[in-house]
């Protein structure tokens, strides 16, 4: 099966955040990967409330120096540039909301319509939950991807994995590389 994307101006992204409750959640780490392979990974300062699951599973694996939210915004803007890319994430609703909470809705550097890879899978007749590190439905096996090389819940690895999966669906890397 192949994806025929509308645009190749895209950036893969993933974030880990403090809660699934949109009123409380804030970004703790973010990973961005461009089509040309350039990547950015940041961990943000945060001292607010953290969901118990996040405390147990995410906080221990955040090992980089933490930067302020202002610094994070600056580095993300520099990385993205002026092209306003489509952001492609897997189950992107939380990432998107917390992205808006970080930047503000009117002043963030991505195109205003984010693309959800779970919805793409759904539209192709694939269970969106097949995209899962445990690979119970042999999703990665069938794609020929070694998912074990990606650290689960690491935002950069999640974004890199999404890129690898996306390109498998796309069929040809040559077609999708920025001109
Ligand atoms: Mg993730």
Q: Give the CATH number of the domain where residue 69 resides.
A: 3.30.420.10
Question: Which single residue is written with the structure tokens 């909470």?
Answer: 101
Rounded to the nearest whole angstrom, what is the distance from the C-alpha of residue 107 to the centroid of ligand 1?
A: 24
More confident residue, 22 or 177: 22
Domain count, the chain: 1
Residue 81 lies in a domain: yes
| Residue 13, helix vs strand vs coil | strand
Rounded to the nearest whole angstrom, what is the distance from the C-alpha of residue 30 to the centroid of ligand 1?
A: 9
Residue 4 in this model has a pLDDT that exceeds 90: no
Which whole number is the average pLDDT over 9-22?
Answer: 96
Residue 2 lies in a domain: no
Kindly report, residue by residue over 109-136, the tens digit of the pLDDT.
999 999 999 999 998 889 999 999 999 9
Rounded to the nearest whole angstrom, what is the distance from the C-alpha of residue 94 to the centroid of ligand 1?
A: 11
Rounded to the nearest whole angstrom, what is the distance from the C-alpha of residue 153 to the centroid of ligand 1?
A: 4
pTM of the model: 0.92
Rounded to the nearest whole angstrom, what is the distance from the C-alpha of residue 96 to the centroid of ligand 1?
A: 13
Residue 62 lies in a domain: yes
Kindly report, residue by residue over 60-86, the tens digit of the pLDDT.
999 999 999 999 999 999 999 988 999
Residue 3 lies in a domain: no
Rounded to the nearest whole angstrom, what is the distance from the C-alpha of residue 169 to the centroid of ligand 1?
A: 20
Residue 4 lies in a domain: no
Question: What is the domain extent for residue 125?
Answer: 10-176
Rounded to the nearest whole angstrom, what is the distance from the C-alpha of residue 159 to the centroid of ligand 1?
A: 8
What pLDDT sits at residue 171?
A: 61
Average pLDDT, the chain: 91
Contact (Cβ atoms closer than 8 angstroms) between residue 173 and residue 160? no
Residue 48 lies in a domain: yes
Separation of alpha carbons 80 and 71, rounded Å: 14
Residue 144 lies in a domain: yes
CA atoms within a 13 Å half-sphere pointing along the CA-CB vector of 173: 8
Q: How far is CA 111 from CA 32, 60, 124, in A?
A: 15, 32, 24
Rounded to the nearest whole angstrom, what is the distance from the C-alpha of residue 119 to the centroid of ligand 1?
A: 17
Rounded to the nearest whole angstrom, what is the distance from the C-alpha of residue 29 to the centroid of ligand 1?
A: 9
Residue 5 lies in a domain: no
Q: pLDDT band at residue 178, thresholds of 50, 70 and 90?
A: very low
């Amino acid at each position: 099966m192949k994806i025929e994307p509308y645009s190749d101006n895209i950036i893969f992204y993933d974030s880990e955040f403090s809660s699934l409750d949109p009123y409380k959640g804030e970004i703790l780490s973010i990973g961005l990967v461009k089509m040309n392979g350039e990547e950015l990974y940041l961990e943000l300062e945060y001292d607010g409330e953290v969901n118990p699951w996040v405390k147990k599973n995410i906080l221990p694996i955040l090992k980089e120096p933490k930067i302020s939210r202002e610094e994070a915004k600056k580095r993300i803007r520099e990385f993205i540039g002026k092209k306003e890319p489509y952001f492609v994430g897997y189950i992107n609703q939380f990432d998107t909301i917390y992205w808006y909470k970080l930047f503000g809705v009117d002043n963030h550097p991505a195109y205003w319509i984010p693309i959800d890879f779970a919805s793409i899978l759904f539209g192709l007749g694939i269970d969106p939950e097949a995209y899962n590190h445990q690979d119970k439905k042999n999703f990665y096996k069938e794609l020929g991807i070694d998912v074990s090389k990606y650290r689960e819940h690491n935002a950069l690895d999640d974004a890199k994995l999404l890129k690898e999966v996306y390109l498998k669906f796309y069929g040809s890397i040559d077609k999708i590389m920025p001109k």
